[in-house]
Amino acid sequence: MNKIKVLVVDDSAFMRKVIGDIINSEPDLEVVDKARNGNEAISKIKELNPDVVTLDVEMPELDGISALERIMRGHPVPVIMLSSLTKSGADLTLKALQLGAVDFVTKPSGQISLDINKIRDDIVRKIKIAAGTKRNLAKLNNIVQIKEKTILKSINKETLPDKNLNNLVVIGTSTGGPKALHQVIPKLPGNFDAGVLVVQHMPPGFTKSLAERLDSVSELKVKEAEDGEKIIPGCVYIAPGDHHLCVKAHNTGNYRELFIISDKSIPPRGGLRPAVDVTLESVAENYWGKIIVVIMTGMGHDGAAGLSYVKEKGAKVIAEHESTCIVYGMPKAAIETGKVDKIAPLYEISDEIVKML
């Protein structure tokens, strides 16, 4: 059996050793070499052509973000970022995912984590997933990126009109999702007449940074969802890490309003919280208007079971085409249900959403 070859990059000798030991303890993984900084990593990638690289975000000489940019330009290879749980660590990790990193793992107690074995299973699982993306990585990184831009001052995102909510879009995604969302949300027009709920599998501390990055490049308002807030058209709500994103209707005179429930009391579904299935079931039970569901790149089958509930309410469903998925798991499972109305590559999804509205 051919083993998955891994290059470990970290400025800490201790972290290089313990991460290397975790990888080498797996019969189908092997560490082919280690590097102390980004410059060493780039040189060894060219020499060894590893299947996966684990790359520390914060390093001297050439940091992880700068190294990642050069790797993706010159020799694309699946990269797993190792990040701290700090605010700056979250911001840098989200930037890395947008630049092309497949996924990330958070060090449990900072840059030098003596308790790194707490996340052993997570490291191993994500390396194996990342290895399966190597073949398509160069092609996927050629997809046109949404450039950061200054939003027109005429669009006042802080004072959105309180219009009736007649349309609701639910987007579900996992591995590869942050980069995919940067291809979809910024392309939605400023007069978009729908509320948007996003369920991205991501731990606490990272969803707020994701929302802020998307907000900075989008005409729509993008924010981390808050418990009890009213859903309004023209706003995108990101499910908070470790909370299911549910909704609840409330009658106001002759009109019904929809509010967010950020729920940690519901157990994880399939090991996931937030889970797309939970959100879809809640939307089907509580929402009255037009529903559009989008299932994008991700491992597993989250979202597939929930489609039957929203289809009973007349929902239209879009699944991302295999050709642009980092991991073709969730879209494939959705398509196999027979409940998908449109299969579209990533760069066409925003247009398809607008057409369906």
The residues assigned a catalytic role are 174, 201, 302
Q: Which two tokens stand for residue 348?
A: 């066409």
Which residues partner with 54 through β-bridges?
8, 80
Main-chain phi, psi angles of 18, to 5 degrees = -70, -35
Alpha-carbon distance of 75 to 354, in angstroms, equals 36
Q: Which two tokens stand for residue 3?
A: 């083993």
Asked if 54 and 9 touch (Cβ cutoff 8 Å), the reply is yes
Report the helix count and the strand count for the chain, using DSSP H and E: 12, 14
Amino acid code (one letter) for 152:
L
Cα-Cα-Cα-Cα dihedral of 213, 214, 215, 219, to 10°? Answer: 140
- Burial class of residue 251 in the structure, from the number of CB atoms within 10 Å of its CB (0-12 exposed, 13-18 middle, 19+ buried): exposed
Helix spans in 56-114 (H): 64-74, 87-99
What kind and span of H or E run contains 5? strand 4-9
Those residues with Cβ within 8 angstroms of residue 5's Cβ, 6 or more apart along the chain or in another chain:
30, 32, 48, 49, 50, 51, 52
What kind and span of H or E run contains 137? helix 134-140
Asked if 279 and 199 touch (Cβ cutoff 8 Å), the reply is yes
Place of tokens 């900072």: 110
Angle at 234 between CA 158 and CA 275, to 5 degrees: 110
Total residues belonging to the chain: 357
Alpha-carbon distance of 113 to 66, in angstroms, equals 23
